[in-house]
Structure 1
Amino acid sequence: MSPIAAKAFVVCIALTDFKKYASGVPDRLATEASTARSRLYNDRTLPSSQPRLRLPPGLSESGFEVAVKDLQQSIGSGNVVINDQPLQDGWYLEHPNTHDAFHVVEQEELVCSAVVYPGSTEEVQTVVRWANEHLVPIYPISVGRNVGYGGAAPRVPGGVVLDLGKRMHSILNIDGENASCMVEPGVTYFALYEEILRRNLPLWIDCPDLGGGSVLGNAIDRGVGYTPAGDHFANHCGMEIVLPSGELLRTGMGALPGKDGADNPTWQSFQNNFGPKIDGIFSQSNFGIVTKMGFWLLHDMPHQSYCFTFAKDEDFPHIVDAIRPLAQKGVLGNIPQLRYIVQELNVTGRRKSTFHSGNGPMTREEIRNAAKELPLGDCSWIFYGTQYGDEAAIERQLDTIKKAFSSIPGTKFWLPQDVPEDHYLHSRVQLCSGVPILRELDWLNWLPNAAHLFFSPITPTRGKDAQKIHDIIVAGHKKYGFDIFPTLCIAGREMHYIANKRRAVALLRELDQVARTYSWNDQALLKFNETMKDALDPNRILAPGRCGIWPKRFRDRGWELGVRDVDMKVIGPRL
């Protein structure tokens, strides 16, 4: 066994204990998490992989060993782990940081050569400078749980994953009077929520559908939640960023030093700085590594969750048209969800085989018969919303919403007390009042070895436009033999149509060639991003390929995936 392999084996044992710690499951959800994990593992039939070391492009094994020893001397041998052990896909709360747990290519293709665990902003700077010296591509992750849209996999096989979550998980500040906080990348929604409870503060956080992800990481990937503060990036306030050169930058009022070297006390209060506001270029990009981020929190407030059901598939455009004026006038208290009935089936945690035999998608008749046995009964669409304010205000808002939806025949209104305690509506009550949950994991029991990919096109909040997108996605799912169960997050002027796909590389490629579809004026936006990338990252080391932004070193050399790259057997230059 080589010295590198020996070190990896020793550290691998320690990682098992870390995964238990890093899962961050609060005691109140321990049983639910254990049940979800057992279901997922019991459904798996795929074998584990064999050990395989993928080297960074351009480095020999001896060169890589020299580079690794150099980094180990700088930040500690236990904080640099070689990835030459069998790959384990894990699950949501015991995530792999070596590869993509929901891999759509062969498991051993998009894998890293090593994982590095910095413990501070200064150590992140050290790693970045090391990467520049050895020309090693590095891929920062927070906790690696953005599973629907990416995960922890490096886009260039053999890249080094920079896992910020293991050692950088401090809640740096919670200001109860200012209703704000400052966190490191490893702080999860669970951790922030539990700390607010511990301090007995009357504050809410805003959560996405699952609570185990990074607060910081979700925001810079422009994730959303379901309270009035649902736009997470819009509610951030100040960032600390390590640039690809290793230099340090602060945005907003953090760029103005406080007294005697302290942080500026307005850093978490005011978003802007003098001059151009640059925060946005560090979201969904590879222009820097965010190591600290401030957020505004919500004060506790009265609220009422509810749902409406709609009888027919054909009601879809009419529902969208009814929602639009409600959202534009501010009647809706949050960003609501509109779900197709199949999601009512799979969020129960039951398998598809419970309702359907065979390999194809469920028929409409099967869906209808299965829905009849559920608390909401036979319906096609379910609208989940929450209103906020005092009792009188909520009553007035609900009256207005009921009147708007009453024009659609067969509409029914439901409150939490109308359905059993295990119904999903009760999970929405928690989520829409700032309580992170795990309920959405039940989706993954739908099929054996299930995974999910999300495709989220944007459409104006108009029924005819929404119908066009819906028809395209329905046709694609039918072509490739998938059940359709979309979730739609609907605002006043735009709506996200979130289509969930399993084992769907061909469908994904047909629907989604994202970066190059923004092609107005001969790819002006992509060219601007590439110009920025080349200026900020001259050695091309920081996350090449992330969000479709390739530096010169990799650009136009076969690393990009095109619409014909369906079998995904070759990642990188075609020789």
Structure 2
Amino acid sequence: MSSFAEEANSAVPTLPGSHSGIPPFLLDKAQRAKEGIFDGRTKPQNERQRLPVVPQGIERDDFVKALGELGEQLGAEHVEVNDKPLRDGWYMEHPNTHDMMTILDEEEFVASAIVYPGSTEEVQQVVNWANKHRIPVFPISMGRNLGYGGAAPRVRGSVTVDLGRRMNKILDINAEDYTCLVEPGVTFYALYEALKERGLDEHMWIDTPDIGGGSVIGNTVDRGVGYTPYGDHWACHSGLEVVLPTGELIRTGMGALPGNNTWQTFPYGFGPYSDGIFSQSNFGIVIKMGMTLMPNPGGHESFMYTFPNEEDLAPLMEIIRPLRISNILENAAQVRHVTQHIAVRGLPRSTFYSGPGPVPASTIHAAAAQTPVGDHTWAYYGMAYGPPHIRSHKLTLIDSEFKRIPGAKRIDPSTLPADEYFWSRDRIARGVPDIHELRWVNWASNGAHIAFSPVSPIRGRDASKLFALGRRLHDRYGLDFFPAFIVGLREMHLIVEIVFDRADPERKAAALSCLRDLVEEAAREGYGEYRTHLVLMDQVAGTYAWNDGALMKFNQRLKDALDPNGILAPGRCGIWPKRYRGRGWEMTRESEGRSEGNGVDPA
């Protein structure tokens, strides 16, 4: 059997046997998802024999000796040289060597080695080692940040510090305070299973993103979102333990008080609130984090509305805003376009259309008409919480408001089959993780995706402007347009997933050019990204340029103070240490295809 076939037929890892595994109740669904991914894979398996990429600023012989030294400290089995063919895998068996959904050549954002610390002290040892040898290190929790770079380091040849494999303990679940304390390798899947094992799943809920295999810490420090009323994950954390780039160890908030008993219940402590500098940054390695859990609200009821016309988007947002601010609409719900509704069924694009350019709207609507939901342009997925009489009151208000839009239709869940996407949204909105969402990646052969993620107020004119911008640029590059609005309390994220064939250089180039144009034009209109892919980090950071780039200058001063040797994740979120600045490391449209600069300052 070929290595490709072996990979396709290998068993899906499960919990508790693998920290990164799928819960047993999702195993059959995960196996079907894997089959769908490999059925559409034509990209040849990489068999290229390769030497490890050595980071700029260190000689190969010195690098090899340094790795040997680290192996003596951690154990040789916990230091792996990345000298084998790169394997893309899939969501549940993802690589920690590179980005499995790469938009550039896979050798651009690639690690030289991977190390697996097993304790706080070993993380400190790794950081001290990196300072001694001036070797860049790039920490990951799980490496499932798909669409934003996955496990890949920004600086080619960095040593990836994989925290998840050996630091994956749930250190505490407090049923009185509704809190938990976790290490980086704890996934949403694992936290959910732990609540079940303790008999607490009917007492308290987790908040999960669309797919539950990511790290609770990793998702939260990257300011990811979920879909219960606790959907703003960063707002729901309390207390960090952090290894600084110098190897020092700190606790934030109440954790700085010896013997405290409120670390997970009060996030601020005394003095400046420092937690924020450890989110979306390269200022420290978070190795413990507290998180709040949601009390069971005493009942829940999912609902779905469809709206027939693209022009319904603006009035719908004007209806949503006051309902969301007043918490009549309680969770971070979704307004999704019909094209994504068709794609999430997991069928390839060629099922519906094989011609040039985007799939015609008439074809999409004809396909939608054949689904249990029926034809529509926009779909709203939400959930009401609480006892029946409270849910009834809120749902009556929502129904009267949504039906102000002509043709609005409430979908009867009893008419929907068990595999309909509605039920995935239902599970996620009540804190049950799933693996359904990424089926839309099957839209393209060798499916990969990269995200455009601007933030705006919940206003009809903003939604319409962003939608028109996205549609125009997708048409320019011949790409299908998958917009979904994730509605927070007073803002909304537009998440546009650009799906492309990662084995097709032309499609990759079109996807990246489209994304660069989206970021540039959106910024001119006042819309900034809340999160982005490695290749876009310099461009996005550059859009936050008020007062001659004062914010980036401030971030650089913090970086130089906290990381004087510039070893921790250089370039992450556009923040470059002093020894890299002015040497062409920033990625722009003009430097496309090349992630490296011209050396580092030897001093």
- Common fold by TM > 0.5: yes
User: Match of 1:481, SS?
Assistant: coil
CA distance in 2, matches of 1:311, 1:137: 52
Deviation, 1:58, is 1.4
1:219 equivalent in structure 2: 220
Deviation, 1:573, is 3.3
**Is the Cα–Cα contact under 8 Å of residues 41 and 445 in structure 2 kept in the other structure?**
yes
Corresponding position: 1:269 with 2:265: yes
1:190 equivalent in structure 2: 189
Corresponding position: 1:136 with 2:135: yes
Q: How much identity, in percent, do the aligned residues show?
A: 51
**Is the Cα–Cα contact under 8 Å of residues 156 and 572 in structure 1 kept in the other structure?**
no
1:252 equivalent in structure 2: 253
Deviation, 1:492, is 3.8
1:94 equivalent in structure 2: 93
User: Match of 2:456, SS?
Assistant: strand
When residues 385 and 254 of structure 1 are mapped into structure 2, their CA distance, relative to the original with a 3 A threshold, is: same
Deviation, 1:150, is 2.2
**Is the Cα–Cα contact under 8 Å of residues 13 and 21 in structure 2 kept in the other structure?**
no
**How do residues 30-41 of structure 1 correspond to structure 2 at under 5 angstroms?**
30-41=27-38
Q: 2:564 aligns with which of 534, 538, 554?
A: 538
CA distance in 2, matches of 1:363, 1:346: 14
1:72 equivalent in structure 2: 71
What's the CA shift string for 1:176-201, capped at 9, x where partnerless? Answer: 11111000000001100001001001
1:10 equivalent in structure 2: none
2:573 equivalent in structure 1: 547
CA distance in 2, matches of 1:93, 1:239: 27
What's the CA shift string for 1:475-532, capped at 9, x where partnerless? Answer: 1111111111111111342110101012311112222331000010000111111110
User: Match of 1:451, SS?
Assistant: strand
Corresponding position: 1:510 with 2:503: no
2:160 equivalent in structure 1: 161
**How do residues 292-441 of structure 1 correspond to structure 2 at under 5 angstroms?**
292-301=288-297, 302-441=299-438
CA distance in 1, matches of 2:404, 2:178: 41
Q: Which amino acid aligns with 1:547?
A: C
Deviation, 1:574, is 9.6
User: Match of 1:115, SS?
Assistant: strand
The root-mean-square deviation of aligned C-alpha atoms, in Å, is 1.6
CA distance in 1, matches of 2:315, 2:582: 45
Deviation, 1:312, is 0.5
2:530 equivalent in structure 1: none
Q: Which amino acid aligns with 2:514?
A: L
CA distance in 2, matches of 1:400, 1:449: 44
Q: Which amino acid aligns with 2:586?
A: E
Corresponding position: 1:287 with 2:272: no
Deviation, 1:217, is 0.6
**How do residues 38-49 of structure 1 correspond to structure 2 at under 5 angstroms?**
38-49=35-46
1:4 equivalent in structure 2: none
1:12 equivalent in structure 2: none
User: Match of 2:235, SS?
Assistant: coil
User: Match of 1:32, SS?
Assistant: helix
**Is the Cα–Cα contact under 8 Å of residues 51 and 87 in structure 1 kept in the other structure?**
no
User: Match of 2:441, SS?
Assistant: helix
1:105 equivalent in structure 2: 104
CA distance in 2, matches of 1:18, 1:476: 41
Q: 2:475 aligns with which of 474, 478, 492?
A: 478
When structure 1 is superposed on structure 2, of 138-147 and 104-113 the one drifting more is 104-113
Q: Which amino acid aligns with 1:248?
A: L
Q: Which amino acid aligns with 1:317?
A: A
CA distance in 2, matches of 1:490, 1:565: 35
CA distance in 2, matches of 1:419, 1:18: 29
What's the CA shift string for 1:115-142, capped at 9, x where partnerless? Answer: 0000011100000000000000000000
Q: Which amino acid aligns with 1:507?
A: C
1:242 equivalent in structure 2: 243
When residues 342 and 17 of structure 1 are mapped into structure 2, their CA distance, relative to the original with a 3 A threshold, is: closer
Deviation, 1:336, is 1.1
CA distance in 1, matches of 2:477, 2:400: 40
Q: Which amino acid aligns with 1:233?
A: W
Q: Which amino acid aligns with 1:51?
A: Q
What's the CA shift string for 1:134-187, capped at 9, x where partnerless? Answer: 000000000000112221111110000000000000000111111110000000
Give unmatched runs, 5+ long, in structure 2: 1-11, 500-507, 520-538
User: Match of 1:178, SS?
Assistant: coil
1:571 equivalent in structure 2: 596
**Is the Cα–Cα contact under 8 Å of residues 338 and 489 in structure 1 kept in the other structure?**
yes
When structure 1 is superposed on structure 2, of 489-498 and 20-29 the one drifting more is 20-29
